[in-house]
Chains A and B, each alone.
Chain A
Amino acid sequence: SAQFIPPFTEDCRADMYPPNGPTFRAAVGWYTVDLDLPPSKRWTAVITEKKTDLANMIEAIKDLANAFVPSGRLIELVDIALPLMVNTLPDPFGEEIKGIAAASGLPLGEVVLFNIFYEVFTV
């Protein structure tokens, strides 16, 4: 049973595993990241397959940013300033992020933003 007012607590669920029903959307696929490759090449396989979804997610964040700053200045700031920041990031992260931007075709600043979002989100 569940209460129909927030926080919608319900009896502790049972027999949910193996995952099934409306709370289970999909299992998660596997990819290999070869750490023997140069950092800029490690994520190419993953990103080649996921670049459309990545672009969609970053577009959603840009829509949100533009909702706050309609002039587009915020996105400009991200696209101009964050590429300068990527070279300050410790190895191998800066090079890996550049490789992801190259493989996805997305602007480097926006990939940097995605990767430092935890720290930015506190704003």
Chain B
Amino acid sequence: CTSVVAEDDKGNLFHGRNLDFGLFLGWDVKNKSWTVSEKLKPLVVNLDFRRNNQTVFKSTNFAGYVGMLTGIKPHVFTLTMNERFSLDGGYIGILEWILGQRDGMWMSFLTRSVLENANSYEEAKTRLAQTKMLAPAYFILGGNSTGQGCIITRSRLLSLDVLEIDLKLGRWYVLETNYDHWKEPLFLDDRRTPAMKCMNQTTQPKMSLKTMYDVLSTKPVLNKLTTYTTLMQVSEGSLEAYIRDCPNPCMPW
């Protein structure tokens, strides 16, 4: 996965993501593609969650999956999550759950309840950072005011780090793949460097949904695992999504 929250020089916030999934879940030799990733693509849907005939939040989802991986609360915040690998992983949380220790939250149920119930960027950030979880994760959160963009690096119990946009430091975007931002990514899977190169080449004045889509379309940020790209603009309350393909040559991950 790759998620970005960026602020242009007029203070507009854009949030984009590639949802990559299906690694090692069966390689289709003939079509040079991952089996489960290809089976997920027809399931990609955009959802308008409504209460009292009003939109509460919108999401890009896989039909049948009740949790949230990508969503926007129009004019309030935007949220995506990326997978985080850790030895202290979800299987420990599941074991605890089976043994009756049920004070943790399933990852995508947490994001769903935040999108449904949080009413501000700060409230969403607090809940994502402080709620005990069954599995580690990265939460990438965008708000509706200048500087409101962050990456929350979560272990199952703790919030290890919150990296925020800081225009004074020249950090006009935050970008997350699947590795802690204070460490080098796995050398076999460095999507961060090419993604940041393209963001820096775009420059802050030219940031838009269009140029963000360009960044997310550049290999290996786009790879064989990429099922969809979603672009969100909180001030417009807009969410749009596109199912992707990666023509050869293309990285398997």
A binds B: yes
Specify which chain A residues have a CB less than 8 angstroms from the CB of B43 in the assembled complex: 50, 53-54, 57
Does A28 reach chain B (CB closer than 8 Å)?
yes
Q: How many residues of B contact A (CB 8 A)?
A: 77
Interface of B, secondary structure class, is mixed
Specify which chain B residues have a CB less than 8 angstroms from the CB of A104 in the assembled complex: 64
Specify which chain A residues have a CB less than 8 angstroms from the CB of B201 in the assembled complex: 12
Q: Does B213 contact A122, Cβ atoms closer than 8 Å?
A: no
Give the docked Cα–Cα distance between A27 and B137 (Å): 28
Q: Which of B143-151, B157-165, B166-174, B237-245 contacts A (4 or more CB under 8 A)?
A: B237-245
Minimal beta-carbon separation of A110 from chain B (angstroms): 10
Known: A32-B48, A119-B93. A57 touches B39 (CB 8 A): yes
Specify which chain B residues have a CB less than 8 angstroms from the CB of A122 in the assembled complex: 85-86, 89-91, 135
Chain A residue nearest to B58 (CB atoms) is A30
Q: Does A17 contact B49, Cβ atoms closer than 8 Å?
A: no
Q: Does A23 contact B90, Cβ atoms closer than 8 Å?
A: no
Give the docked Cα–Cα distance between A8 and B250 (Å): 6
Chain A residue nearest to B189 (CB atoms) is A7
Chain A residue nearest to B45 (CB atoms) is A31
Specify which chain A residues have a CB less than 8 angstroms from the CB of B102 in the assembled complex: 88
Does A77 reach chain B (CB closer than 8 Å)?
no
Specify which chain B residues have a CB less than 8 angstroms from the CB of A120 in the assembled complex: 90-91, 94
Chain A residue nearest to B86 (CB atoms) is A122
For A16, A34, A36, the residue with the greatest tally of chain B CB atoms inside 10 Å of its CB is A16
Chain B residue nearest to A28 (CB atoms) is B241
Specify which chain A residues have a CB less than 8 angstroms from the CB of B118 in the assembled complex: none
Q: Does B50 contact A33, Cβ atoms closer than 8 Å?
A: yes
Proximity string of chain A (1-12) to chain B, C-beta cutoff 8 Å, 1 when within and 0 when not: 010101111111
Specify which chain A residues have a CB less than 8 angstroms from the CB of B47 in the assembled complex: 30-33, 46
Does A72 reach chain B (CB closer than 8 Å)?
no
Interface residues of A in 49-85 (CB under 8 A from B): 49-50, 53-54, 56-57, 60-61, 63-64, 67, 85
Give the docked Cα–Cα distance between A43 and B213 (Å): 30
Q: Does A53 contact B217, Cβ atoms closer than 8 Å?
A: no
Specify which chain B residues have a CB less than 8 angstroms from the CB of A43 in the assembled complex: 63-64, 66
Give the docked Cα–Cα distance between A28 and B232 (Å): 14
Partner pick for A30 among B40, B48, B218, B247, CB 8 A cutoff: B48
Known: A17-B210, A17-B214, A64-B35. A24 touches B245 (CB 8 A): yes
Minimal beta-carbon separation of B131 from chain A (angstroms): 12
Q: Does A64 contact B26, Cβ atoms closer than 8 Å?
A: yes
Known: A2-B219, A64-B35. A53 touches B42 (CB 8 A): yes
Partner pick for A60 among B26, B44, B106, CB 8 A cutoff: B26
Chain B residue nearest to A122 (CB atoms) is B89
Specify which chain B residues have a CB less than 8 angstroms from the CB of A12 in the assembled complex: 194, 197-198, 201-202, 214-215, 218
Minimal beta-carbon separation of A48 from chain B (angstroms): 10
Known: A12-B201, A50-B64, A122-B91. A19 touches B247 (CB 8 A): no
Known: A7-B220, A25-B245. A31 touches B48 (CB 8 A): yes
Specify which chain A residues have a CB less than 8 angstroms from the CB of B86 in the assembled complex: 122
Specify which chain A residues have a CB less than 8 angstroms from the CB of B218 in the assembled complex: 10-13
Q: What are 16 pairs between A and B in contact, CB < 8 Å?
A: A7-B191, A12-B202, A28-B240, A28-B242, A29-B45, A33-B47, A50-B43, A50-B64, A54-B64, A63-B26, A93-B109, A115-B64, A115-B65, A118-B108, A119-B107, A123-B89
